[in-house]
Every structure is written in C-alpha cells, then in structure tokens.
C-alpha cells in the first residue's frame, strides 16, 4: 500500500506551535506511543532522523505519516524503517501537506520503534538556528 495524497499548497497555512503529544497519533490507531520521540522539536519541526516507539494494541499492517514539507524540499523524500527491517522510501512534492502511507507489520501487543529518515534537512529561517527537514502533522496505523 503506497499512496501519496496531495493537498493544496500550505504556503498560507497557519502552523500552530504545540508540543508533541500522543494526540498527533490518530485516536482510531491500534497503537499507543511509548515515551518521547527523538528528533522532534516542541513546535513539531522534525530533524533528518527521528524515532518513535509504540505498543501495538492490535495487528498493524500499515502506517501513515502526515507532513508539511518546505517548498525548497522538492521532491521531499522520507524513508521509514521498523526496527531492523529494510527501509521503505516514498517521495512527495515540496511546499505541500502530504499523507505518506507505508506498509508495516507489527503483531498485537508487540513493542516496536519506527525511524523516519528524510532525504535532507536545512537551516530554518533566521533567527531560528535549528536544522530540520519537515513538520509532522499526524501519525496513524491500521
């Protein structure tokens, strides 16, 4: 299952700064987040490499990641790696909100770690001195 859902440009989109909370995880998802993610800033900018840990509440066969990509990240490339499995890579146009869907298997009640690896990261606009690749808007499992 590999699909990209393109949503009109986010140039005028007002991005709200909020701390990363499990609320970003779809409430219908058969997984719960464990601990704090790595590589994610409080305002949801994500470094080139980030990791999230979960516990499956049921069988999982796919994961979706909703992101906003800066216009200069065209194309935006994101790879997902589950524990030590080979990574799966998808691309989306820069400057848009995209929902990337990755095949993924996790057995019920198992604990697993997902790594998100972007193709690159950049210096954020001045005066912000952080480096990041994209903004995460949501995670979901089915």
For position 1, what pLDDT does the model report? Answer: 38
Q: Could you report the per-residue pLDDT of 24-70, keeping only the tens digit for each?
A: 898 889 999 999 999 999 999 999 999 999 999 999 999 999 999 99
- Domain segments of the chain: what residues? 4-8+24-141
pTM flag (> 0.85):
no
Q: Could you report the per-residue pLDDT of 98-138, keeping only the tens digit for each?
A: 999 999 999 999 999 999 999 999 999 999 999 999 999 99
pLDDT of 3 > 70? The answer is no
Superfamily of domain 4-8+24-141: Galactose-binding domain-like (2.60.120.260)
CA proximity to 141, closest of 43, 45, 55 = 55
Distances, alpha carbon 102 to alpha carbons 65, 71, 111, in Å: 8, 23, 18
Indicate the burial class of 115 (C-beta count within 10 angstroms; 0-12, 13-18, 19 or more). middle
């Amino acid at each position: 299952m590999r699909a990209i859902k393109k949503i009109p440009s986010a140039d005028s989109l007002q991005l709200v700064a909020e701390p990363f909370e499990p609320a970003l995880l779809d409430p219908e998802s058969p997984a719960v987040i464990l601990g704090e993610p790595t590589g994610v800033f409080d305002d949801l900018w994500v470094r080139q490499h980030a990791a999230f840990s979960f516990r499956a509440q049921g069988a999982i066969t796919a994961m979706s990641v909703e992101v906003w990509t800066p216009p200069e990240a065209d194309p935006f490339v994101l790879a997902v790696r589950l524990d030590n499995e080979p990574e799966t890579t998808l691309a989306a146009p820069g400057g848009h909100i995209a929902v990337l869907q990755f095949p993924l298997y996790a057995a019920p009640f198992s604990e697993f770690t997902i790594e998100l690896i972007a193709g690159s990261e950049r210096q954020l606009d001045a005066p912000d001195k952080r480096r990041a690749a994209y903004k995460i808007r949501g995670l979901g499992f089915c």
